[in-house]
Amino acid sequence: MPPFGFSSFTSRLLGGAQPLGSQLPCSWQRPFGLGWEKPYTVRYASNLDDGPNHGAPLGGFGAGCIGRGPDGRFNLWHLDGGEHWFGEIPDCQFALYESDGSTSRAHALAVQPTADSSRPETGEPLSAWSWYPASDAQRSTGTYAARYPLSSTDYAGVFQAQVRCEAFSPILPGDYQRTSYPVAVFVWSLQNPTDQPLTVSLLLSWRNTVGWFTNTDPTAAVQFRDDGSPEHNYVPAIGRSQGQRNRQVVDTALKGIVLEGERSEPLAEGQGQWCLAVPDEAALGQAGVDIFRCSRWDGAGDGSEIWTPFAATGAIPESNNDRHSGDHESASAALAVRFTLAPGQSLEIPVVIAWDLPVTSFATGTRSLRRYTDFHGSSGDNAVAIAAEALRDWRSWRRAIEAWQAPVLARTDLPEALRMALLNELYDLASGGSLWTAATANDPVGRFGVLECLDYAWYESLDVRLYGSFALLQLWPELDKAVLRDFARAIPAADPTPRPIGWYFTQGRGRVEAARKVAGATPHDLGAPNERPFDATNYTAYQDCNLWKDLASDFVLQVWRCFRLAPSGEDLRFLADCWPAAVTALRYLKQFDANDDGLPDNGGAPDQTFDDWPLQGVSAYCGALWIAALEAALAMGQRLQLELGLDTSAEQREFGGWLEQSRSNFDALLWNGEYYNIDADSGTPVVMADQLCGDFYARLLGLPPVVAEERARSALQAVKEACFEGFQGGTLGVANGLRRDGTPLDPNGTHPLEVWTGINFGLAAYYRLMGESGTALAICGAVVEQVYGGGLQFRTPEAITAVHTFRACHYLRAMAIWALWATHTDWQPIPGAEAQPQSPLPTTSQSRAAQR
């Protein structure tokens, strides 16, 4: 194994015996630019696989985000709400020049970009530039580290100066303002360890991409992939340049360049501004600083117009050319900061990239303003103001991040790898296609949603967030309430539009149609970015979600969980808002009790979160959730009647009767003496790993347990032996369902033979709650090893397999790792998470209406 191979790192990390670096402890680390020997690859050809070069995203929730890989290249561009574009823009780049008076060197601080094989006529990108060397088996040229929202890159062995860059955005629990900001802060630390003066120059170059990130396909027609799931076409306007211009910022507080483009009235999606900014010379506190700004250069050429003078002296051509571009004419900008460091001297330079792209568009005529516009306005002219605030406040933001992460870092009872993953798995709240709209009277913190994943591109799948929303609940509880309120509004709604159901296609059973949304049914999701999210629900059509037997229970349990565990305290008004929908949802689900035993029956076609896995009759998974949900509903009704005076006595009698009947039949139908059968009618002889999720929820929320403790422990032991230790020796995690001896029922099965990352984290929390921390940590350790050792970091998938494939990256359910935090015996809220939302700056109703 090469000395910088990742396996040696992960084994060291998972052991937790050695520090991972004094600068950023508990971080995921990777030698700069080192390739992966054998990363995980995608299971289905149609699913997304951008490769393993992913780093921590930069940008606020719902603001759009950018990503810089462990090789220094900016490659992730999630700037259109809910849409994904992954690709290199070589002239979006940092570079460094250094001279000791006799020798000099200059490198772009990324490995060499790849040529576009689809356009061989373009040749090698920026061929005049010198690129930073990647690490290899014999030599490390630096280290990338990430502990979201912080990331850092240390450069080593190339420059004489010690060079470090730390990047972050103000992702702060309980802060419903700054967490929404479209800004990335890069703090460059440079030190001269030699006995001679060093002249250093730091360059930032950026392509004008205003107008790029909007869908040019007006239909965005839905099609079915080879896995039966629906998708829509996304064709962003990459390369669009008509009307773009760049200009220097005239501001006493900073030195910067604004990048703009064409505008319509009202402002359209993708329109607005970028701003590149540094403090002015006086603010840097360093004598002899030169700041150069080149408002325009050709990033599509060989780059010599910038690189030749920069490599020679650290300067770039000063210009303020603000002419408008024609079509197919790139408009790049650059700024550079040059200074001299005396022997032993150091300097810290903050560099800010801010963007103001305030509009997200959906179906024709439907649009939303992003949450940050509540604080910085919706004109699309505020990138400079955002950058100025970042340059003013970045130190306090950085201290606040350290403060809220401190309790996680201090939990030495959790292995270092697990503490690392707890923080890094939060990445999906920024880069998971997140949507966060401006506030209204009905939605005082706006409406919020994260995609199930980029392959299954619909918001806040309720069955998935049953596990994956533990992070949102504990860190931004008002956003969790916002999501659940949207589900409460959607439950009584109906949409009779018929749609083909994808699963039947995969089974070769032809076209089967179903109504999109039946009144009273709990929706599966809050819609998709190519339609009308929040208002048009049930986007997915792989199964008929009106028939699902877990969604109503999922909703009720999440409402009660939010009420009981939100660090901001119990909110009776929220509970009252959701109560009518909870009643409707449970009554709708009860109609599927085919034999009047109190328990809803699964119908044969997959009708729960394991939507490729048929269950028949009463099932352990859905039945346990149902019993826990009835207990939660009774607790809700009691609190609302006692404390708000609502008359819920009829509902309490109704639910109490169902609960008594359900409890008397659950064990009789499903308990086999060692564990619970997967269902009552199919005879499928497997141990289902997640058979008692409902019992976990009941115990976590202080409700009466679903099953007796001795039976819960017996079932967990069977799961451990069959699905964890019996599956690849426990090295991958817990498989969803195997025979009692650990063998597969069907060697070609899909869901039963997959390790679902989020299910594993949730199951681990159940073991921990039951006092079996050793098993919990072993399960988490195996999954974290696979994700962070297999090139899946910052794109954690739904599922991994024993043949080193994955499915559905950037998956919401993986944030279930935060369920472990909720099961600490001395659980304490993360600092700041209990804060109430800030009031937005006043905006005129006239200007707000113009943008909606």
Residues 6+ away with beta carbon under 8 Å from 126: 90, 91, 108, 113, 299, 301, 302, 303, 307
Distance CA 660, CA 827 (A): 32
Q: Could you tell me the pLDDT band of residue 115, with boundaries at 50, 70 and 90?
A: confident
Q: Give the SS3 label for residue 820.
A: helix
Strands (E), 543-656: 602-603, 616-617
Q: Could you tell me the pLDDT band of residue 232, with boundaries at 50, 70 and 90?
A: confident
Say if CB 307 and CB 271 are below 8 A apart. no
Specify the amino acid at residue 405. Q
Region 586-607: mean pLDDT is: 96
CA angle in degrees (0–180, nearest 5) for 251-257-258: 95
Look at 178 and 510; give whichever has higher pLDDT: 178
| pLDDT value at 652 more than 90 | yes
| pLDDT value at 238 more than 70 | yes
Region 61-83: mean pLDDT is: 97
Run of H or E residues at 348: strand 346-356
| pLDDT value at 153 more than 70 | yes
pLDDT at 6: 31
Residue 594 CB coordination number (10 Å):
13
pLDDT tens profile 460-518? 999 999 999 999 999 999 999 999 999 999 999 999 999 999 888 888 888 899 999 99
Torsion of the alpha carbons at 593, 595, 596 and 601, rounded to the nearest 10: -20
| pLDDT value at 620 more than 60 | yes
Region 746-751: mean pLDDT is: 88
Q: Could you tell me the pLDDT band of residue 838, with boundaries at 50, 70 and 90?
A: low
> Over pLDDT 70: what percentage of the chain?
93
Instruction: Give residue 261's region: left, alpha or beta (phi > 0; psi -120 to 50).
Output: beta
Query: What mean pLDDT value characterizes the chain?
Result: 92
pTM attached to this predicted model: 0.95
pLDDT at 598: 97
Look at 311 and 19; give whichever has higher pLDDT: 311
Q: Could you tell me the pLDDT band of residue 363, with boundaries at 50, 70 and 90?
A: confident
pLDDT at 107: 98
In angstroms, the Cα distances linking 357 to 212, 275, 429 are 11, 11, 19
pLDDT at 220: 61
Q: Could you tell me the pLDDT band of residue 840, with boundaries at 50, 70 and 90?
A: low
Buried b (16+ CB within 10 A) or exposed e, 490-515: bbebeeeeebebbbbbbeeeeeeebb
Say if CB 143 and CB 25 are below 8 A apart. no
Phi, psi of 312 (to 5 degrees): -85, -45
| pLDDT value at 597 more than 60 | yes
Region 222-236: mean pLDDT is: 76
Residue 4 CB coordination number (10 Å):
18
| pLDDT value at 23 more than 90 | no
pLDDT tens profile 507-565? 888 889 999 999 999 999 999 998 999 999 999 999 999 999 999 999 999 999 999 99
Q: Which of 452, 428, 434, 616 is nearest to 540 (CA)?
A: 452
Q: Dihedral of CA 328/255/155/100: which sign?
A: positive
pLDDT at 749: 85
pLDDT at 834: 87
Q: Give the SS3 label for residue 345.
A: coil
pLDDT tens profile 124-133? 899 999 999 9
Q: Which of 660, 813, 145 is nearest to 424 (CA)?
A: 145
**Tokens representing 313?**
């002296």
